[in-house]
Amino acid sequence: MSYLDTTKNVYREAALQPDVGLCCTTSPIWQLPELSIPKRMLEMNYGCGTTVHPRDLANEPRVLYVGVGGGMELLQFAWFTRRPDSVVGIDPVEEMLEACGQNLAKAEEENPWFDSSFVSLHKGDALDLPVEDRSIDVAAQNCLFNIFETAELKKALAEIYRTLKPHGRLVMSDPICEDPIPEKLRRDERLRALCLSGALPLQKYLNMITDTGFGTVEIRARRPYRILAAPEYDTPQPIYIESVEICAIKDPMPEDGPCVFTGKAAIYYGTDKYFDDGKGHVLLPNQPLAVCDKTAAALAALGRPDIFISPSTWFYDGGGCC
Ligand SMILES: C[S@@+](CC[C@H](N)C(=O)[O-])C[C@H]1O[C@@H](n2cnc3c(N)ncnc32)[C@H](O)[C@@H]1O
């Protein structure tokens, strides 16, 4: 049996009996007008952060959601899409699909605007998605990919990339960890399945995303998630885990590498009317321009005393340089 089977077993149990503390929600649950989330769906919120961002959901998108859990985010996506089959949910665990379907049926009773035909649920695996090439506008996963080891993570990212239309986006929320996680914990299949020991350092995760081909990446939020400490986890030092929300956009890869926005801004405070770097970035006095890390580094390398580059805020949701 591999860790992938252990993962499915963990979520089989969590489908049959909701496990309220299984994951750690790191952001408030979206409250939307006339949205009522059934109690059991809430109890089965096995994600961290959110993948639901109104800015991604204009123009009647088709949404793919991988690893459905209790269905809360599928319902939230459907709040925006409101068309038959506009949210496609994929999960390999029969019992999870069934629980999700029941929760959505309950949601239909509680929400006059919601029709369960808006969501279609299918048995399938993140590593081999039963979804056509280039058919999806927004793909989402919450607290699943961190469980995968490198080869599977690579495959899961490639599968999402394949299903996305050009300029489509992968929106994800997952734990990350900058502290070293002892090999013993990394190899603990149950801990990994519980999103506690597979987390990668952010830069490594970002490299895997951009290596897949995503030309633009946004870091939308970065939040404290968990501490793993002795004696429960037998670690010499407490391990600090964070959660991160990332949007990876299937834009063409720029010749000089991906644009990764981590929330940096450039501010020109010289005496001229503006500063123009000749590469499409015009800075007006004292008006922050959101810049990707590549542009931030290029501007910093100019060594000008009248350009300030802010640190990463890890909060970026659009606008700016590229
Ligand atoms: C941590 S839960 C997250 C559920 C949901 N995204 C949420 O935020 O509540 C992981 C989900 O991924 C599903 N899963 C497990 N292995 C999977 C795989 N190989 N491919 C797709 N989904 C998988 C589980 O059944 C479960 O629904």
Counting every residue, how long is the chain? 322
Q: Is the CB of 7 under 6 A from ligand 1?
A: yes
Q: Is the CB of 121 under 6 A from ligand 1?
A: no
* Cα 296–Cα 318–Cα 80 angle in degrees, nearest 5: 160
Judged on CB neighbours under 10 Å (0-12, 13-18, 19+), 130 is: exposed
Q: Is the CB of 91 under 6 A from ligand 1?
A: yes
Q: Is the CB of 114 under 6 A from ligand 1?
A: no
pLDDT at residue 319, as a whole number? 78
Q: How far is the CA of 317 from the centre of ligand 1 (A)?
A: 26
pLDDT at residue 234, as a whole number? 87
* Two tokens, residue 178: 């900058």
Q: How far is the CA of 69 from the centre of ligand 1 (A)?
A: 6
pLDDT at residue 21, as a whole number? 74
Do residues 200 and 28 make contact, with C-beta atoms less than 8 angstroms apart? no
Q: Is the CB of 15 under 6 A from ligand 1?
A: no
For residue range 249-272, list pLDDT tens digits in order.
999 999 999 999 999 999 999 999
In angstroms, how far apart are the furthest CA atoms of the chain?
Answer: 67
Q: Is the CB of 322 under 6 A from ligand 1?
A: no
Q: Which residues of the chain have pLDDT under 50?
A: none
- DSSP for 118-158 reads GEEEEE-BTTB-SS-TT-EEEEEEESSGGGS-HHHHHHHHH
For residue 23, the ligand 1 atom closest to its alpha carbon is 1
pLDDT at residue 24, as a whole number? 67
- Could you give the CA distance from residue 133 to residue 28 in angstroms, rounded to a whole number? 34
Q: Is the CB of 258 under 6 A from ligand 1?
A: no
Annotated domain spans of the chain: 3-249, 263-309
Judged on CB neighbours under 10 Å (0-12, 13-18, 19+), 259 is: buried
Pocket test for ligand 1, best of 3, 8, 10, 11 (most atoms within 8 A of CB): 11
Q: How far is the CA of 45 from the centre of ligand 1 (A)?
A: 11
pLDDT at residue 20, as a whole number? 80
Q: What DSSP character marks residue 169?
A: E
Q: Is the CB of 65 under 6 A from ligand 1?
A: no
Break the chain down into helix, strand, coil percent, rounded to 5: 30, 25, 45
Pocket test for ligand 1, best of 91, 148, 192 (most atoms within 8 A of CB): 91
pLDDT at residue 321, as a whole number? 75
Q: How far is the CA of 145 from the centre of ligand 1 (A)?
A: 9
Q: Is the CB of 92 under 6 A from ligand 1?
A: yes
pLDDT at residue 30, as a whole number? 87
CATH, domain range 3-249: 3.40.50.150
